[in-house]
Amino acid sequence: MRFRVQSLRRSKRFKGLALSAAYRCIAEVLWSLQATAIWSITVALKFATEIDQVPEQAGHETAQGGFDHVETWVFDLDNTLYPAHCNLFDQVDKRMGSFISQLLDLDLVEAKRLQKSYFYEYGTTLRGLMTCHDINPTDFLDFVHDIDVSVLEANAALGEAIAALEGRKVIFTNGTHAHAENVLGQVGIRDHFEAVFDIADADYIPKPDQEAYDKFVAHVRFDTTKAAMFEDLARNLALPHAMGMTTVLVRSPENESAAFIQKAGGAGDDADHVHHVIEDLTAFLDSIK
């Protein structure tokens, strides 16, 4: 009897242990299935997110820096649409020094030093003079642009290269309309541009100030992610790059302004925001047709 009772007890304990093991086994299987399901959902979601993100990022990165997507071509004027070795801007530069010398009764060396410090600190000499000496911008601009543009040669090849670009072509300059008309007329490329946005249009706020770019974009009305900008000063390409434009630096060993900025610690040829560094604008435009 005792044996039967013990046997029964053993049998019940065995059943209990067996059931407990079975429950544990089922629980582990269910847990395993649940974990697998959670892992699968996580992977699927991650994959779906990556699928959703990658083409947009890759597309943007591929587009910016290239030219196939470009609808609007933005060109600076001085030392960009004509080579710096013509020394045309040199004339403007010298007259800026003369203007400051007369305005503040300084010798030419000191006037030049002040001019360059304003150029570096405020973007243009004019902006520095307006900020620090409250000058009339028109007086200054008329004076400094009274130069001899005959040093520029007509450039039919550049005109053809610009004409071959598909899309809108505009000029964004820290100079004036009158100066742009003189230069473009002399080079023989005026007809290729839809518009000139000058320093007066920008309310005398120059590149590289953000406000100048905002006014330019609002005025011309274009998609900055489908645009390219050509400039001789690397610092003026930082914001265009941030706005999604393809950036091209037209460099020249004779460009004293660009060398001055770089020497003073500003952006130069090696700046990260510059996609292309070129010397021959016509050849480059021909190469991207």
Of the pair 97, 208, the CB lying nearest Mg ion is at 208
Of the listed pieces 142-150, 160-168, 213-221, 231-239, which binds Mg ion according to CB under 5 A?
Answer: 231-239
Which residue spans within the chain are E strands per DSSP? 72-75, 168-172, 195-197, 227-231, 246-250, 276-278
At residue 216's C-alpha, the angle toward residues 242 and 160, to 5°, is 90
Residues 153 to 172 in contact with Mg ion, rule: CB under 5 A = none
Interface with Mg ion includes 93 (CB under 5 A)? no
**Phi, psi of 207, rounded to the nearest 5 degrees:** -55, 140
Interface with Mg ion includes 79 (CB under 5 A)? yes
Of the listed pieces 5-13, 76-84, 265-273, 278-286, which binds Mg ion according to CB under 5 A?
Answer: 76-84
The least CB distance from residue 78 to Mg ion, in Å, is: 4
Of the listed pieces 18-26, 79-87, 100-108, 264-272, which binds Mg ion according to CB under 5 A?
Answer: 79-87
Of the pair 79, 247, the CB lying nearest Mg ion is at 79
Token pair 């230069």: residue: 183
Interface with Mg ion includes 232 (CB under 5 A)? yes
Token pair 């007890």: residue: 9
At residue 21's C-alpha, the angle toward residues 20 and 24, to 5°, is 85
Give SS3 for 64. Answer: strand
Of the pair 79, 186, the CB lying nearest Mg ion is at 79
Helices 108-122, 88-104: axis angle to 10 degrees equals 110
Of the pair 101, 184, the CB lying nearest Mg ion is at 184
Nearest residue to Mg ion, scored by beta-carbon proximity: 78
- Residue 167 to residue 245: CA distance in whole angstroms: 14
Interface with Mg ion includes 78 (CB under 5 A)? yes
**Phi, psi of 265, rounded to the nearest 5 degrees:** 105, 5
The least CB distance from residue 260 to Mg ion, in Å, is: 13
Of the pair 76, 201, the CB lying nearest Mg ion is at 76
Least Cα distance to 65 among 233, 241, 210, 236 occurs for 241
Of the pair 177, 226, the CB lying nearest Mg ion is at 177
DSSP 8-class letter at 94: H
Site string for Mg ion, 21-60 (x = CB under 5 A): ----------------------------------------
The least CB distance from residue 230 to Mg ion, in Å, is: 10
Interface with Mg ion includes 76 (CB under 5 A)? yes
- Residue 186 to residue 121: CA distance in whole angstroms: 32
125 neighbors 115 (Cβ within 8 angstroms): yes
**Contact residues: Mg ion, CB under 5 A:** 76, 78-79, 232
